[in-house]
Amino acid sequence: MVVLITGASGGLGKVMGGLLAEKGLKVYGTMRNPAGREQDYPFTMLQMEATNQQSVENCINELMAREGRIDVLINCVNQMIIGSVEEQTVEEVEALYNANIFGVMRVIKQVIPVMKKQGKGTIVSMSSIGGLVAVPLMSAYTSAKFSLEAISEALYHEMKPHNIDVVIMQPVAMKMDRPATGGHLDIVANVPKDSLTHRMVKRMAADSAASKLTPEMVSEKIYSVITSDKKPLRVPMDKAKAITLLKRFAPQALIHKLVSGIMKGA
């Protein structure tokens, strides 16, 4: 089984690539500049910039030249910005969408013809609780996850006649050994010193540190999904299971109360 993981330079993507390779799958990851970093990964790393169409095409063409097939695509490219609608600029939101939505679309569109030709395949995209609830101070990120959920659900039905499965993973914040902010998360530029945004970042860091969910656990779950005969459209994990039930059955007032609790926590 040939697996392509986009955005595998660190975080979940790196852990997942190592675990899947350890289980005997042929794993390829992508990052912007893998030159000189080959020894850092227990799987083959390819160059890809998801915001650049030519880079995406070159990467998929190189993988096809090496393997002749792609059985599983796992979209792990993910950027996050924190800031209110008032604070963030249109350009900042556009940049996030270019990676988290249009980047994912570029890769999917390049891989679909490959999977159609071989008669099967699986496309996995990483959503989150942010794809279930619009979180204040995270409108750019959560709206992108809402969009990813909608695109993936439509794609699920479009690909059924072609024996191509589409899966949406919905983990919560994972416990990772990394700084609160960095390449994975940025505070938008126009944030005053007294903004709630700074406190939201601290809240998120605390939630991640206290999380019982690890990248290894998410990777194990993804392995079980991609190797199973029946693949669900959505796979909620940890608190996302409860949020899914709330969204389905709870009155809107209760959901508003839940979101207000997030703001109070910040």
- Domains: count for the chain: 1
Catalytic residue check, 141: yes
Catalytic residue check, 41: no
Please compute, for residue 91, the number of CA atoms within 13 A of its CA located in the half-sphere on the CB side: 3
Q: Which domain holds residue 123?
A: 2-265
Burial 14-40 (b: 16+ CB within 10 A, else e): bbbbbbbbeeebbbbbbbeebeeeeee
Q: Which of 41, 141, 152, 219 is catalytic?
A: 141
Which of the four pLDDT bands, split at 50, 70 and 90, describes residue 182? low
Q: Which of 14, 28, 41, 127 is catalytic?
A: 127
CB 259 within 8 A of CB 136: yes
Catalytic residue check, 128: no
Q: What is the pLDDT of residue 205?
A: 83
Four-CA torsion 82, 5, 114, 56, nearest 10 degrees: 60
Bridge partners, 26 (sequence order): 2
CB 240 within 8 A of CB 201: no
Q: Which of 145, 156, 195, 239 is catalytic?
A: 145
Say how far apart CA 202 and CA 39 lie, in whole Å: 34
Which of the four pLDDT bands, split at 50, 70 and 90, describes residue 265? low
Q: Which of 9, 125, 152, 219 is catalytic?
A: 9
Q: Identify the CA nearest to 111 among candidates 160, 72, 76, 155.
A: 72
Q: Mean per-residue pLDDT for 13-38?
A: 95
Per-residue pLDDT tens digits for 110-157: 999 999 999 999 999 999 988 988 889 999 999 999 999 999 999 999
Flag whether pLDDT at 164 surpasses 90. Answer: yes
Q: What is the pLDDT of residue 263?
A: 65
Q: What is the pTM of this model?
A: 0.91
Question: Which three-class secondary structure state does DSSP give residue 29?
Answer: strand
State the CATH number of the domain containing residue 17: 3.40.50.720
- 90-100 and 102-118 are packed helices; what angle lies between their axes, rounded to 10 degrees? 20
Q: Identify the CA nearest to 74 among candidates 139, 9, 8, 15.
A: 8
Which of the four pLDDT bands, split at 50, 70 and 90, describes residue 245? confident
